[in-house]
A and B are shown apart, each in its own frame.
Chain A
Amino acid sequence: MNIYLRELRANLKSLIIWSVIIILLVVIAVTKFAAYADNPEMLAILDAYPKALLDALNMHAFNLTTLNGFLGVMFLYYALMGAIAAGLWGSGALAREERNKTIEFALALPITRTRFLTAKALAALTLSALFVLITWMTTLVAIQSYQPDESVYAFLAREMMAMFAIEVIFLAIGLLVASVSKRPKRTGAMVTGVILTLYYVSMIAGLHEKLDFLKYLSPFKYFDAAKLLHEGRVDPVYWALTAGIVVCSLVGAYWAFHRRDIFV
């Protein structure tokens, strides 16, 4: 419990920073949305954009003059920010202690490595959940003036669930990278690199039929906002993939951490 609370406290500042970023993002986006809302002329302008661009940004599937369309586009940012935040919380849990050389102190205490890693992982999970809640609240407040109906609330709830799932994936990957990596100073950059690469992969995946297989490669594609809106659910294949990635990453992380030599 102490390790968990310490980890939460150590990351409080980072959670606040991420929250400020998401709040700013939502405020700016809603301000822009004011120009689109119920404005058919905007649709005409958008139609003039190259199709490939709209595909890449996943804007094709949405009617940007509606709240659902707005939320669909916002999800691109929510997913990316959630992924990076959670990835850094996951990897930072170990990498920070190694960078600051406090890990020797921590592991010379009478605790098992399992307990140490589990407490850290749960703290990162808590932060991820809080980040989703903050995003959720902020969005709810921001869209109030546009009279959201039931379908908007339901869609937003599905998006938030998807955001959390993406966070869990990258949190687990972050833990794995930090447990395996020999260079704690580079871990954060590595995790961010992986996330951005997968993010681009998810964009490319929509561009051409031949690239369709890429959708299995990138977790961002598993939770496609357009499908969340129109089908209202996530394909079980993707749930299975999500579970697979998370379980494999965690098993790998515990396995590697139990064999990891601690130097400072």
Chain B
Amino acid sequence: MPVIETRQLTKYYGKARGIVDVSLQVEEGEIFGFIGPNGAGKTTTIRLLLGLIFPTRGEARIFGKDAIKDGPEIRRHIGYLPSEVFYYEGMKVIDLLKYAASFYPGDHTKRLHELAEYMELDLHRKIEDLSYGNRKKVGIVQGLLHRPKLVFLDEPTLGLDPLMQRKFFDLIREENARGVTVFFSSHILGEVQRLCQRVGIIKEGQLIEVSDIRTLQQNNYKRIYVAAREIPSGYFDRPGVTNLEAVNGGVRFFYKGDIDAIVARISALDLIDVTIEEPTLEEIFMHYYE
């Protein structure tokens, strides 16, 4: 049974498009990357799954239960780190975290302190005195202190310095190793690439691709660089070759198609140097957004 399952999930804000017909499945124990530029519908999707907003049509199920009807019960096992965290300004961090913890059955004091120590969070300051990055840390602790089974991360690294980002990623990997499912929304592909096993790409409210991150890199494009004593002009004008450009003594291009054919073509040249690489997610992504 998938942890998250949506069918034709659609949200319009009046006439404005939120998301349209998003159908996806996230399996238990995976880290699912959800990528797309700002305004593509990432946050809308998460809010629908959390029951903060209501679908125009379609349905969402989490842990096999209806995301709206069984929302309160589902949310006991959900951790949510929004892209921007807002808490009651006048409260101390520790009071806020205890307040949040009080809504989840069980005692979470120990975990709360563990996480705070790990994230180097000062528990005795007031929320209003915290910097953006420190608020984010409060968000991380709050999102994880009740040991949720499913975690939503919406642009989680925004505001965290690189050191903290790394600690945070380690923390997420640790949680994931314990079986926690992670829904990771981001427009920064590098971090998705580092962390996720599968990705969904959302564009203008529509899910245009869901695939294994390896498959996405392997089955798609190769980035090829060829340097040779002589490359006749038009030598690489063949189907599957795109973005051909000349660079210091050679050519660089993307290739999609029969790898044997292109290698044969390359080897017929009097070669100096060759590299065949997988493209970065960034490059794949740009392709989807062309």
Which of A47-55, A101-109, A163-171 participates in binding chain B?
A101-109
How far does the Cβ of B155 sit from chain A's closest Cβ, in whole Å? 14
Q: Is the CB of A110 within 8 A of B103?
A: yes
With A105-B87, A111-B72 already in contact, the answer to whether A259 and B103 are too (CB < 8 A) is no
How far does the Cβ of A94 sit from chain B's closest Cβ, in whole Å? 14
Q: Which of B54, B84, B103 is A109 in contact with, Cβ under 8 Å?
A: B103
Q: Which of B71, B75, B82 is A104 in contact with, Cβ under 8 Å?
A: B82
Q: Which of B76, B85, B86 is A110 in contact with, Cβ under 8 Å?
A: B76
Q: Is the CB of B52 within 8 A of A2?
A: no
Q: Is the CB of B86 within 8 A of A2?
A: no
B289 in the interface (beta carbon within 8 A)? no
A6 in the interface (beta carbon within 8 A)? yes
A57-111 residues at the B interface, CB under 8 angstroms: 100-102, 104-105, 107-111
Q: Is the CB of A110 within 8 A of B87?
A: no
With A6-B99, A109-B100, A110-B75 already in contact, the answer to whether A261 and B52 are too (CB < 8 A) is yes
Q: Is the CB of A110 within 8 A of B73?
A: yes
The 0/1 profile, CB within 8 Å of A marked 1, for residues 211-247 of chain B is 0000000000000000000000000000000000000
How far does the Cβ of B41 sit from chain A's closest Cβ, in whole Å? 14
Total count of chain A residues near the partner, CB < 8 A: 19
> How far is it, in angstroms, between the C-alpha of A109 and the C-alpha of B142 when the chains are bound?
10
B109 in the interface (beta carbon within 8 A)? no
A6 partner residues in chain B, CB cutoff 8 A: 88, 99
Of chain A, the residue at the smallest CB distance from B73 is A110
A262 in the interface (beta carbon within 8 A)? yes
The total of interchain contacts (Cβ-Cβ below 8 angstroms) comes to: 62
Q: Is the CB of A100 within 8 A of B86?
A: yes
With A2-B99, A6-B99, A110-B72 already in contact, the answer to whether A261 and B89 are too (CB < 8 A) is no
Q: Is the CB of A104 within 8 A of B52?
A: yes
How far does the Cβ of B14 sit from chain A's closest Cβ, in whole Å? 10
Q: Which of B54, B73, B90 is A261 in contact with, Cβ under 8 Å?
A: B54
> How far is it, in angstroms, between the C-alpha of A155 and the C-alpha of B87 when the chains are bound?
46
How far does the Cβ of A93 sit from chain B's closest Cβ, in whole Å? 14
Q: Is the CB of B88 within 8 A of A10?
A: yes
B158 in the interface (beta carbon within 8 A)? no
> How far is it, in angstroms, between the C-alpha of A261 and the C-alpha of B75 when the chains are bound?
17
The 0/1 profile, CB within 8 Å of A marked 1, for residues 66-77 of chain B is 000001111110
Given contacts A105-B82, A109-B75, A110-B78, 6 further A-B contacts (CB under 8 A): A100-B86, A108-B50, A108-B75, A108-B80, A110-B74, A110-B103
Binding site for B on A (CB under 8 A): 2, 6, 10, 100-102, 104-105, 107-112, 259, 261-264
Provide 26 A-B residue pairs closer than 8 Å at the C-beta atoms, listed in order of the A residue: A2-B99, A10-B88, A10-B90, A100-B86, A102-B86, A104-B47, A104-B82, A105-B85, A105-B86, A105-B87, A108-B50, A108-B52, A108-B82, A110-B72, A110-B73, A110-B74, A110-B75, A110-B103, A111-B72, A112-B71, A261-B52, A261-B53, A261-B54, A262-B52, A264-B82, A264-B86
